[in-house]
Amino acid sequence: MGCGRVGSMLVRSLEKLEHSVAVIDRDPTAFRRLGPEFKGTAVTGIGFDRDTLVEAGIERADAFAAVSSGDNSNIISARVARETFGVHHVVARIYDPRRAEVYERLGIPTVATVRWTADRMLRALLAEGTEEIWRDPTSNVAIIEVTVHERWIGRSLDEFERAVGVRTAVIVRFGIGTLPTRSTVIQDGDRVYLLVDKETAKTAARVAAEPPHGST
């Protein structure tokens, strides 16, 4: 639901992955963003109206994304898709971060665009030396890539995690991502990604960039 910039981009991405897509928008001129190559269904109507959803094929849908410009419309349509039609994969874009937290607790995944954008801008301004690759919708938990001091090479991940105080989410070795275990040994060239929250991110990145305690 929603054929603005985000919705139309999402449609194009899904079609490139060979998914069939239906788009709902109350403004029929919005469908111009889809371009002549659009192969799906365009339905003019309100995204939480039952008849509109049925016309768009909600009863056959595997997933539903509510990406209109209104928080209320997005969350209502997402709840209708989940609770009335039983769609398993539902996500809603929410501008108000306080609402996003509430709906997350109700079991509806949200993308809080204002908070996400503000956090990304803040990290760019502060230049803390870490690269974030994922953040949860409430903006509290993230996966970051950190610089690991060369003296950690050859040491166990268990020792490394005890030092940095957080868990390692992924290690990319020779271009292949792996789920590490505590017996994993850090190797030269490893790209290390840590699972952190707001309180632990800065300290974990700093400790990872320092040599192990007591090393020479």
- From residue 96, alpha-carbon distances to 14, 105, 143 in Å are 26, 15, 23
Residue with the two structure tokens 């190559």: 37
pLDDT beyond 80 at 179 = yes
As annotated, the residues of the chain forming the CATH 3.30.70.1450 domain(s) are 128-208
Q: How confident is the model at residue 104, as a pLDDT?
A: 72
Of 45-54, 83-92, 101-110, the one with minimum mean pLDDT is 101-110
Dist. CA 155–CA 212, nearest whole Å: 9
As annotated, the residues of the chain forming the CATH 3.40.50.720 domain(s) are 5-114
Percent helix, percent strand, percent coil in the chain, to nearest 5: 40, 25, 35
pLDDT beyond 90 at 121 = no
Second CATH level (architecture) for the domain 5-114? 3-Layer(aba) Sandwich (3.40)
On whether the 128-208 domain is CATH 3.30.565.10, my answer is: no
Does the pTM of the predicted model rise above 0.75?
no
Which is it for strands 89-94 and 110-112: parallel, antiparallel or unpaired? parallel
Dihedral of the CA atoms 44, 88, 61, 48 (nearest 10)?
A: -20
Dist. CA 93–CA 53, nearest whole Å: 18
Other C-beta atoms lying within 10 Å of the C-beta of residue 167: 13
pLDDT beyond 70 at 115 = no
Write the pLDDT tens digit of every residue in 136-158: 867 789 999 999 999 999 999 99
| Residue 24 backbone dihedrals phi, psi, to 5 degrees | -115, 135
Write the pLDDT tens digit of every residue in 8-26: 999 999 999 999 999 999 9
